[in-house]
Amino acid sequence: MPTRKREPDPDPASAEELAPTPAEAVAHPPQHFYGGQAVLEGVMMRGKDHWAIAVRRPDKSIFLQHFQIESIAKRKPIFAKFGLRGIIALGQALSIGVKALTISANQAVEDDEKLSTGQMALSMTLAMLIFVGVFIAGPAVAFGFLKDSVGTGVLSNVLEGVLRVLLFLGYLGLIGRMKDIRRVFQYHGAEHKTIAAFEHHDPLEPEAVDKYSTLHVRCGTNFLLIVMVLTIFVYSLIPTPSLGWRVGSRIIGIPIIAGLAYELLRLGAKYERSRFMHALMTPGLWLQKITTKPPSEDQIEVAIASFNEVLKAEAESAQPAA
């Protein structure tokens, strides 16, 4: 349930007072890595126990709302264990992402153009089915029919994985040419810049935020690329005696691969200065050159407003009850 909804000041307030100083950061290293997601004309930011969304409305005001995160891992610690936590994190990210997209879709348009919850749920379900069909099942079906030419062994599975990665890269490159998607990619860049500024203890003001890169090691683009690459290695080890098993094993394997990708992404963030981890994450950073674009100042303001809302929600929840 939402805990608060309000309209911000025209100029988002600085969160400098809520960010730790460099000295404090050394003495008390951060226990949580903040993340986020670009949405339609806005940004969703996620903290440890709360997430917030800021959307630029047609009248140029900023809509703000934050929510508490209900995590099953807190109620049942077994789901916070290695492997399982990645699957839970993916499901939770999808749930929050769909809700954030629904809110942004309705706030970024005029009242007579708003979508119902059912319409948004249907469109997201169709999008998910298309993604699984094109990027997961599609290459499996293609190489299932080509088994007489390339066989059903390791080589066939590796080539299938390579095709999956190429399809994914081609898809990103294609949609990146669309005007509306390019604006989403700009908000994606604003999200990364804002998080980077906070992590470097700079004030959350447009001028200070804008100097940072649009690339970030913990980006969801990295996660998706890691998933695609892992499919090459994981699926190459699975025998494929029939077309049905070939397709079915690819779909069943998604949660397992997602769990492994999550752990690799955590390692990349934890050992960001490691040359090995940097080399491992570099392809994902290259890919972000497609999925992030330099944002405008007003887009950075929206990202800052969203991040401020998370910080304030967490600060308020940390205060002892009167």
pLDDT of residue 133: 86
The residues, any chain, with a CB within 8 Å of residue 257's CB and separated by 6 or more, are 227, 230, 231, 234
Q: How far apart are CA 73 and CA 79, in angstroms?
A: 5
Taking alpha carbons only, the member of 22, 20, 12, 21 closest to residue 45 is 12
Looking at the domain assignment, is residue 138 inside a domain? Answer: no
Q: How far apart are CA 36 and CA 305, in angstroms?
A: 13
pLDDT of residue 144: 76
Q: Kindly report the backbone phi and psi dihedral angles of residue 145, in degrees, each rounded to the nearest multiple of 5, phi listed first.
A: -75, -20
Q: What total of structural domains would you count in the chain? A: 1
Taking alpha carbons only, the member of 228, 206, 187 closest to residue 36 is 187
97 lies in which domain range?
A: 2-132+143-316
Using DSSP, state whether 202 is helix, strand or coil: coil
pLDDT of residue 191: 96
Looking at the domain assignment, is residue 118 inside a domain? Answer: yes
Looking at the domain assignment, is residue 234 inside a domain? Answer: yes
What sign has the CA pseudo-torsion 285, 93, 85, 246?
negative
Taking alpha carbons only, the member of 170, 160, 187 closest to residue 44 is 187
pLDDT of residue 102: 87
Looking at the domain assignment, is residue 45 inside a domain? Answer: yes
Q: What is the pLDDT along the chain (322 residues), one digit of tens a residue?
A: 344 343 443 343 333 333 333 333 333 344 567 889 999 999 999 988 899 999 999 999 999 999 998 877 667 777 667 767 777 777 888 888 888 988 998 898 876 667 666 777 788 788 888 888 888 888 888 887 776 676 656 787 788 888 888 988 899 889 988 999 999 999 999 999 999 999 999 999 999 999 999 998 778 887 888 888 888 888 877 776 677 887 888 888 888 888 888 888 777 777 767 787 777 778 888 889 999 999 999 999 999 999 999 999 999 887 775 5
Q: How far apart are CA 187 and CA 39, in angstroms?
A: 7
Q: How far is CA 115 from CA 80, 103, 105, 120, 131, in A?
A: 35, 10, 7, 6, 22
Output the six-digit token pair for 173. Answer: 């490159």
Q: How far apart are CA 234 and CA 239, in angstroms?
A: 11
Looking at the domain assignment, is residue 137 inside a domain? Answer: no
